[in-house]
């Protein structure tokens, strides 16, 4: 082959290699419809919960929203949309999916379980918490095990995975479990507080937060073996890989720098407002491993 042809061939090979090398970076920087929307409007809408401490809850009459997931959302948005105004919208477990999927909410900051069914409607960030679904009972209750729920009346919040887990448990024990649905966690806890139900089933971290902020925290206990472990994550609209890459990038840096553990400790170990009571839920091995090796695996992978 003549020298000129060899040189041209080498140049073509180098150019092809460069394009192949650059492809992942180009994909990672794919345009984001959500970020374009935020830029055009000058604001970003955060979906938050009013009564899901320590993950997301309203604090005081001015409805300031705080919590572990609220702070994570704020940290993420400070980096990826630093000039945007943060607008908070109160949502429930039941309204989360439709409001995120239709773009009314740009990022969901409540305690939402990542599962395959929900992935048909929305996308999830890397897992930022792993909860265990257990039950809260009054201190004088004889209930100690999930297996004792047959024939009992139990509270659960509408739209939570606890509802499906209770149905599965009902089949396992071979006895009916009367499930009373509260519209949110505050209403569900009131059912327990008033004696209308025997137990309230929900993620252990949220149960601990609700109890800590109740009128008499010492009057309740979290008991029983877990009904299941669930990956909890921030969520946003589907089919926007650019936005997911941006959110995951910030969360991964927080995890691997050790900053995420500090944020976790602030909300799960140190006293939290409004009553300055500690939940005493130190970082567990499962979540510590996730911080070291972030992933967005759904609930079904935890059940294998």
Topology at the third CATH level for domain 132-229: D-Maltodextrin-Binding Protein; domain 2 (3.40.190)
For 180-200, write each residue's pLDDT tens digit.
Answer: 999 999 999 999 999 999 999
For 13-43, write each residue's pLDDT tens digit.
Answer: 443 343 333 333 333 445 699 999 999 999 9
Q: Cα(50)–Cα(183) distance, rounded to whole angstroms?
A: 12
pLDDT on residue 304: 67
Q: Cα(216)–Cα(226) distance, rounded to whole angstroms?
A: 24
| Angle in degrees, CA 66, 71, 77, rounded to 5 | 125
Could you tell me what percent of the chain has a pLDDT over 70?
Answer: 89
Return the structure tokens found at 290.
């996730």
Query: What is the domain partition of the chain in residue ranges?
Result: 32-130+231-302, 132-229
pLDDT on residue 15: 39
Q: Cα(33)–Cα(88) distance, rounded to whole angstroms?
A: 20
Return the structure tokens found at 46.
């955060």
* 3-state secondary structure (DSSP) of residue 64: strand
Split at pLDDT 50, 70, 90, the class of 285 is confident
Topology at the third CATH level for domain 32-130+231-302: D-Maltodextrin-Binding Protein; domain 2 (3.40.190)
Q: Cα(135)–Cα(289) distance, rounded to whole angstroms?
A: 26
For 164-179, write each residue's pLDDT tens digit.
Answer: 899 999 898 889 999 9
CA distances from 270 to 54, 71, 276, 279, 282 (A): 11, 15, 8, 8, 10
- Report yes or no: 48 and 91 within 8 Å, Cβ to Cβ: yes
């Amino acid at each position: 082959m003549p020298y000129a042809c060899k040189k041209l061939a080498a140049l073509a090979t180098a150019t092809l290699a460069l394009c192949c090398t650059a492809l992942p970076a180009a994909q990672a920087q794919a345009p984001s419809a959500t970020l374009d929307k935020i830029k055009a409007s000058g604001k970003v809408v955060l979906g938050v919960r009013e009564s899901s401490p320590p993950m997301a809850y309203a604090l005081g009459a001015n409805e300031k929203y705080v919590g572990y997931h609220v702070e994570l959302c704020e940290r993420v948005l400070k980096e990826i949309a630093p000039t945007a105004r943060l607008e908070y919208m109160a949502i429930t477990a039941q309204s989360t999916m439709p409001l995120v999927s239709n773009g009314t909410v740009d990022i969901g900051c409540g305690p939402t379980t990542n599962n395959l069914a929900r992935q048909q409607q929305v996308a999830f960030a890397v897992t930022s918490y792993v909860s265990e679904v257990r039950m809260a009972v009054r201190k004088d209750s004889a209930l100690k095990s999930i297996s004792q729920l047959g024939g009992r009346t139990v509270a659960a919040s509408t739209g939570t995975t606890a509802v499906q887990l209770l149905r599965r448990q009902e089949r396992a024990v071979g006895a009916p479990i009367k499930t009373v649905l509260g519209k949110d966690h505050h209403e569900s806890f009131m059912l327990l507080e008033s004696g209308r139900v025997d137990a309230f089933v929900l993620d252990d971290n949220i149960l601990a937060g609700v109890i800590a902020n109740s009128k008499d925290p010492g009057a309740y206990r979290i008991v029983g073996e877990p009904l299941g472990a669930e990956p909890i994550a921030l969520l946003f609209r589907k089919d926007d890989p650019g936005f997911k890459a941006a959110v995951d990038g910030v969360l991964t840096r927080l995890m691997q720098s050790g900053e995420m553990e500090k944020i976790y400790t602030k909300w799960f170990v140190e006293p939290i407002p409004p009553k300055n009571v500690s939940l005493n839920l130190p970082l567990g091995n499962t979540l510590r491993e996730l911080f070291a090796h972030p992933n967005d695996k759904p609930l079904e992978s935890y059940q294998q």
